[in-house]
Structures are given as C-alpha cells and as structure tokens.
Amino acid sequence: MKNNIKADFPTLDQVVNGHRLVYLDNAATTQKPISVIKAVEDYYNSNNANPHRGAYTLSMKATEIYENARAVVKNFIGAKKTREIIFTKNATESLNLLAYSYGMHFIKEGDEIVISIAEHHSNLVPWQQVVKAKGATLKYLYLNEEGIIPDKEIAEKITERTKIVSVTQVSNVLGTIQPVEQIIRKAHSVGAIAIIDAAQSLPHQKVNVTELDADFIVFSGHKMLAPMGIGVLYGKEELLEEMPPFLCGGDMIEYVTEQDTTFAPLPYKFEGGTQNVGGAAGLAAAIEYLNAFSMDRIRQIEEELTDYAINKLSEIPHIILHGTKDIAKKAGVLSFHVEDVHPHDVATILDASGIAIRAGHHCAEPLMRYMKINATCRASFYLYNTKEDVDRLAQALASVRRWLGYGSK
C-alpha cells in the first residue's frame, strides 16, 4: 500500500485561500482518483456509443463496459445475480423508484410505512408522497441520546400493519451506525419489506446484501470515489419482477404496439433511455480501487481518525459534539457546534484556512428539529484523510470565536 494516498487524487493537490486544501466533506461527495478519471476519459475517448442498441463494434464495446460494471457491482455487494442490479442516477432516484414503483403499487389505505427520524430527505419525502396518495400512515423510529434507534422503538413501531420499513444504515448527520440487521429481521417477521439506504455505509465498510437479507439496498457512486450521476438499486429478483417500470421509453421495452407495450426483462425494465455508460465505467474503476485498498483498511483508517478527531475537538472550549463518541457505533462523521457561532459562519471561517466542511441541516430537517437545533457543522473523513488534516481542523476551530470578536473566550 502506497504511503501517499493523496497523490492519487488530483483535486487534493491544490491551494485554497493560501493553504493546502483539507477536504472534509466526504459525506456529501468524495474526490476521484486518477484511475476513475481515466476510466471515464477512456470511455469517451475510445468507446462512446449507445449500449444495447447497435450491431456495430463501438456499440458492442459500450455494452460490454456497461454490463461489466454491473457484474463488478454485483460482486462488490455480494448479490446473487446481475439482474438484481439496477443502475440509476443516485440513491435519491433509487428511493424514488421504490416509492413510486413499489409503494404506489402495493401500499393500501390503512397500511403503515416505518422510517427513522434520522433519514435524509431522499428517504423521507418520497414516502410522504406515497402515504398521502394511498391513505396510509408514516411512522418514525426515534433515537436515543447516542443517536441510535433503540430496541424498544423497533419492537413497538414495526407492527402487523407495517408493509415497508426504510432506514439508513449510517446517519449522514451523526455518523451513527443503526441496528439494521435487527430492523430487517423485525420487518420480515411481520411480513414487511426492508429497504436500506446504504449511501453512507457501503463506501466505508463491507456490506453483503445476501447476508444482510434486506429486500432493497440503495447507494450513490459519487460517495465512493465514482463520478456523479451513477447510482445503484439492488433488489431481490422476485420483488423486482412484481414491480411495474418507473420510467418508460427506449431500451426498457420488449414490444410496442399502438395500444400496448410489453417490457424488457430485468434489469432493463427499470433502465429506460440512454444510460450513463461513462459513469458506470467510473463506478467499476472506483470499486476496483476500493477493493485494492481494502474495505477493512478503510474502516480502520476512519475509526482511527474519528477517535483522534473526537479527542482533539473535545479539548477545544465551546465545541459541542453531537451523537455517540463510541467509534464502534460510529462511521467517520462528526457533527458539532461552536457555541454562539452559526455553522455557516464556522464553515466560511474554516474555508479561509483552506478547510472544507459542510454546514447546514444536511437534508435532514426532521432530525434537526428532533435534536432542537437548526443546523450543525459536519466534518466527514475518507481513506485519503490524515491526522494532519484533523490537526488543521482543530487549529482553525480553536480560533473561530476570536474571528467574531469573542477574544480569548
């Protein structure tokens, strides 16, 4: 394993506001290694054509690249069949596909859909639309003081009336790892399907969909070194077969007459229109990079950095950390406040030192209200971050209040 991982990531090799860039917004999107950039470039330089549709060499090459990427994803997440891998734009589109193709089709009046209060809007707003349209009920699993869904909530909220349970495996705000295995078992025990939003977990730890036994799992490529605009929906074959298409048009059809249409088999039934082959090539290259690096090593790096950052930030007066400090229950995300300073001001001040963090409600407004706050600062780590990056963050945070006239306080 090379010592200077940052050298693989061109974006990190720059100066921002007179300082070397420290990128700590990985929960929003990750930077891309040279191998991923080259894979996308190679596709557009040499193999650009419409997949599945041409009887000529270039189209067949594009098809091979696209379908090879599907096989790479299938192996990476431990799925049984490539037909269970649906390419989308991102996790948000994957969740919308499930809401409209499964939810709108199978949910009935009086049914219940259960999600957690920690959900990103993309795993919340679509279900709101489903229950409003179908006369169903949306119920929430609430969190304990550590930011984790407790056993009692799972036992009491998931009932015989529950038809869908859709939860995040890792909170994008708090970084807390939720007990999804327990939630999946409970959902199945009452005859409900279980959906897991793995956008914040799968890039950082091993996720085997067969062992997990979730019915559907969604994630985004751009949070795991791949380009923007490529995402994945994994679904059990028997459930996907029952669902109607989400988007209709070219390439998802079998036969079309003036008054009727039959649809292509899985996975193409859900991939209408010209697909993002360049993105799929980049996703395959990103997975190859992660496999070479080792998911276990990524988890180890993030645990070490998170523990180091918790200790460093805990030493700084007026810093309030949110969520558990137990790294065994936490991914590489730190959500925090600087007392008397709005998170947007904190982010702007840190940017002056070349440090990129996220500030805001993180597309999780219900969670913010549950925590009785409006916004937080969020620093999130990935495989290319170092303790030096954390030191830079801590040093800059120590001076934030002085920037705003609080003196040495």
Query: Active-site residues: which are they?
Result: 363
- Rounded to whole angstroms, the Cα distance separating 247 from 258 reads 19
CA neighbor of 223 nearest in space, from 251, 245, 198: 198
Q: Evaluate whether 127 touches 304 at the Cβ level (below 8 Å).
A: no
State the Cα–Cα distance between residues 297 and 395, nearest whole angstrom. Answer: 27
Query: Phi and psi dihedrals of 373, rounded to 5?
Result: -135, 165
Amino acid occupying residue 39 = A
d(CA 8, CA 24): 17
- Give the position of tokens 């971050």: 385
CA distance 92 to 132: 19
Number of helices (H), then strands (E), in the chain: 15, 17
327-342 in b/e burial notation, b at 16+ Cβ within 10 A? bebbbbbbbbbbeebe
In angstroms, the CA 12 to CA 75 distance is: 30
Nearest CA-CA partner of 65 in 252, 267, 282: 282
Amino acid at 258: E
Both tokens of 321, joined, read 């950390």
Q: Closest by alpha carbon to 254, among 243, 241, 267, 265?
A: 265
